[in-house]
Structure 1
Amino acid sequence: MRRHWDIEELVEHFTLLPDELALLANKTGATRLGFAVLLKYFQQEARFPTVRQDVPRTVVAYLAKQVRVPEEEFIRYDWEGRSIKYHRSQVRSHFGFRELTLGDAEVLGVWLAERALGLGLHEEHLLAAAAGWLREAKLEPPSAERLVRVVHSALHMAEERLCSQVHGQLSADTRRALDALLITATTGQPEESEDNTLPLQSAFNDLAAEAGKPGLESVLGEVIKLQRLRAVGLPGALFREVPPKIVHTYRTRAAGEPPRELRRHPAAVRYRLLAAFCFEREREIIDGLVELLIHIVQRIGARAERRVERELFKDLRRVEGKQNLLVALAEAALQRPDDRVREVIYPVVSEQILKDIVREHEANGPAYRQRIYTVMRASYGNHYRRMVPAILRVTEFRSGNEVHRPVIQALGLLKKYTLSTARHYAPDEEIPLQGVVPSRWRGLVVEQDKQGRERVSRVNYELCVLSVLRERLRCKEIWAVGAHRYGDPDKDLPQDFEAQRPAYYQALAQPLDPTGFIAGLRQAMEAGLSKLDGGLLKNRDVRITERGGGWIALTPLDARAEPTNLLRLKVEIARRWPMTSLLDILKETDLRVGLTEEFRSSGKREQLERGTLQRRLLLCLYALGTNTGLKRLAAGTHSENYTDLVYVRRRFIGREALRSAIIRVVNAIFCARTTQIWGEATTACASDSKKFGSWDQNLLSEWHVRYGGRGVMIYWHVEKKSTCIYSQLKSCSSSEVAAMIEGVLHHCTDMDVQKNYVDTHGQSEVAFAFCHLLGFELLPRLKTIGSQRLYRPAAGQSEAYPNLQSVLTRPINWELIRQQYDQMVKYATALRLGTAETEAILRRFTRNNLKHPTYQALCELGKAVKTVFLCKYLHSESLRWEIHEGLNVVENWNSANNFIFYGKGSEMASNRIEEQERSMLSLHLLQICLVYINTLMIQRVLGEKQWSRQMGEEDLRGLTPLIYNHVNPYGSFRLDMDERLALESIEEAG
Structure 2
Amino acid sequence: MIHYADIGSALIKAREEGLNPFETLEKVMPWEKIVESIEEAKRLARPMDYDYLDLLSTRYSYLRKYTPVLIESLEFRSTQAAEPLLRSIEVLRDVNKNGKRKVPENAPLDFVPKRWQKHVYDEDGNINRQYYEMAALTELKNHIRSGDIWVVGSRLHKDFEEYLISKEDWLQAKAAGTRLAVSPSSEEYLSERTDTLHHRLTWISNNINSLEGINADKEKIRVDRLERDTPEEARSFSLSLYDMLPRIKLTDLLMEVASWTGFDEQFMHGSTNRPPKGEEKAILMAALMAMGTNIGLTKMADATPDITYHQLANAAQWRLYEDAMTRAQAKLVNFQHRLTLSSYWGDGTTSSSDGMRVPIGVSSLHADSNPHYGSGKGATIYRFVGDQYASFYTKVINTNARDAVHVIDGLLHHESDLRIEEHYTDTTGYTDQVFGLSHILGFRFAPRLRDLADSKLYTIDQSNNYPKLEAMLRGRINTKLIMDNYDDVLQLAHSIREGKVSGSLIMGKLGSYARQNKVATALREMGRIEKTIFILDYISNEALRRRIQRGLNKGEAMNGLARALFF
How does the TM-score come out when normalised to structure 1? 0.51
1:11-26 to structure 2, matched below 5 A, reads: none
Question: Matched residues in 1 for 2:122 and 2:276: separation?
Answer: 75
Question: Matched residues in 2 for 1:846 and 1:861: separation?
Answer: 15
Aligned residue pairs total 526
Residue 690 (structure 1) aligned to one of 350, 356, 359: 356
Question: Matched residues in 2 for 1:562 and 1:497: separation?
Answer: 56
1:510-909 to structure 2, matched below 5 A, reads: 510-546=182-218, 550-561=219-230, 563-577=232-246, 579-604=247-272, 610-636=277-303, 639-674=306-341, 678=344, 681-695=347-361, 697-708=363-374, 709-794=376-461, 797-846=462-511, 848-849=513-514, 851-902=516-567
Offset at 1:426? Answer: 3.0
Residue 464 (structure 1) aligned to one of 131, 135, 140: 135
Offset at 1:673? Answer: 2.8
Residue 368 (structure 1) aligned to one of 50, 53, 56: 50
Question: Matched residues in 1 for 2:212 and 2:273: separation?
Answer: 68
Question: Matched residues in 2 for 1:744 and 1:468: separation?
Answer: 34
Question: Matched residues in 1 for 2:388 and 2:494: separation?
Answer: 30
Question: Matched residues in 2 for 1:505 and 1:765: separation?
Answer: 27
Query: Alignment RMSD, CA only?
Result: 2.4
Structure 1 residues not aligned, in runs of 5+: 1-310, 317-358, 903-990
- Asked if the contact 2:385/2:555 (under 8 Å) is kept, the reply is yes
Offset at 1:422? Answer: 4.0
- Pick closer, same or farther for the CA change 1:605–1:835 going to 2, 3 Å: closer
Per the alignment, residue 477 of structure 1 pairs with 148
Offset at 1:699? Answer: 3.2
Give the % identical residues.
Answer: 24
Question: Matched residues in 1 for 2:257 and 2:233: separation?
Answer: 30
Give secondary structure in 1 for the equivalent of 2:470.
helix
- Asked if the contact 1:758/1:781 (under 8 Å) is kept, the reply is yes
Offset at 1:572? Answer: 4.1
In our comparison, the structure showing a higher alpha carbon Rg is: 1
Give secondary structure in 2 for the equivalent of 1:824.
helix
Per the alignment, residue 104 of structure 2 pairs with 426
Task: Please give the per-residue CA displacement for 1:834-892, whole angstroms capped at 9, x wherever unaligned.
Answer: 21232221122225235311111111111111110011001111111111111111111
Structure 2 residues not aligned, in runs of 5+: 6-41
Offset at 1:503? Answer: 5.2
Offset at 1:560? Answer: 4.0
2:119 is equivalent to residue 444 of structure 1: yes
Give the AA of the match of 1:568.
F
Offset at 1:551? Answer: 1.7
Question: Matched residues in 2 for 1:810 and 1:645: separation?
Answer: 59
Question: Matched residues in 1 for 2:520 and 2:170: separation?
Answer: 21
Give the AA of the match of 2:201.
L
Question: Matched residues in 1 for 2:369 and 2:258: separation?
Answer: 38
How does the TM-score come out when normalised to structure 2? 0.87
2:174 is equivalent to residue 507 of structure 1: no
Give the AA of the match of 2:89.
L
Offset at 1:441? Answer: 2.6
- Asked if the contact 2:200/2:536 (under 8 Å) is kept, the reply is yes
Question: Matched residues in 1 for 2:276 and 2:46: separation?
Answer: 72
Offset at 1:609? Answer: 7.7
Task: Please give the per-residue CA displacement for 1:769-793, whole angstroms capped at 9, x wherever unaligned.
Answer: 1111111011011111111121122
Question: Matched residues in 1 for 2:295 and 2:177: separation?
Answer: 49
- Asked if the contact 1:552/1:785 (under 8 Å) is kept, the reply is yes
- Pick closer, same or farther for the CA change 1:611–1:626 going to 2, 3 Å: same
- Asked if the contact 1:485/1:837 (under 8 Å) is kept, the reply is no
- Pick closer, same or farther for the CA change 1:559–1:819 going to 2, 3 Å: same
Task: Please give the per-residue CA displacement for 1:205-250, whole angstroms capped at 9, x wherever unaligned.
Answer: xxxxxxxxxxxxxxxxxxxxxxxxxxxxxxxxxxxxxxxxxxxxxx
Per the alignment, residue 133 of structure 1 pairs with none
Question: Matched residues in 2 for 1:501 and 1:714: separation?
Answer: 35
Question: Matched residues in 1 for 2:231 and 2:94: separation?
Answer: 70
Give the AA of the match of 2:121.
V
Task: Please give the per-residue CA displacement for 1:181-212, whole angstroms capped at 9, x wherever unaligned.
Answer: xxxxxxxxxxxxxxxxxxxxxxxxxxxxxxxx
- Pick closer, same or farther for the CA change 1:723–1:653 going to 2, 3 Å: same
1 or 2 for the larger relative contact order (CA 8 Å, sep ≥6)?
Answer: 2
Give secondary structure in 1 for the equivalent of 2:513.
helix
- Asked if the contact 2:337/2:348 (under 8 Å) is kept, the reply is no
